[in-house]
Amino acid sequence: MSFALPIFQLSFARIGLGSLPLRTRLSARMTGPGDMDSPEDRARVDAALIRRMAGGDRDALAELYDNLSRPLYATARHILNDAAEAQDVVHDVFLSLWENASSFDSGRGAAFSWAVTLTRNRAIDRLRTRSNRARLLGNSIPDDLGYGEEPAEAGGSAKAELGDRAVAVRSALAELPPDQQKALELAFFSGLTQKEIAEKLSEPIGTIKARIRRGLLKLRDALANRL
């Protein structure tokens, strides 16, 4: 599916995110033929770019950077709460993709998942090696995970250029019970262990495990219905 749409505005309130602690009204400007592609189409495009990268095509790297750098940078910055370190992480991740492109197997997962996993792992590694880990953890994990804040660098048109995938995920997450949202957010962004998450939320560890499981499965089902 490849067709152009006029620029339109999309607010979280319009897709049912008003009940979330996400108070910010984000608008998405969707431009270009790829914006309305399915996740499968995007995965195929990214896989093709990585195959070209494996052949030494730096233009393909530039395209992949354009496709993925924004969520990767946002993820690294949110985990580390540090723009400079987030840039280092994203830089290292794209170099790793460039150098290991030949080992990519699209049958084992999408390029996006691969890149996110690399980014998250590297960011968490950095987080865990900080000498003042405890203090930084406290600073880097805001209670509402930043949804209520305006990102420092996301202004104007850049902020508006979220894809439909991002909107879908946010919408699906917003539909989860708050305790499951919280468990997933901490599991993904905090770098905490199961035990640490349980302590932070003052819940038994078994409860945290169950919340993570139920939340992830609901998110999966919700995304399947939306995309």
Residue 24 and residue 206: Cα distance in Å, rounded?
A: 33
Q: Which helix (H) or strand (E) holds 67?
A: helix 58-80
How far apart are CB 2 and another protein at their closest, in Å?
22
Q: Which helix (H) or strand (E) holds 117?
A: helix 111-129
- ∠ CA 164-165-171, nearest 5°, is 85
How far apart are CB 59 and another protein at their closest, in Å?
10
How far apart are CB 123 and another protein at their closest, in Å?
11
Residue 116's region, left for phi above 0, alpha for psi from -120 to 50, else beta, is alpha
Residue 107 and residue 44: Cα distance in Å, rounded?
A: 11
- The closest alpha carbon to 146, from 188, 207, 94, belongs to 188
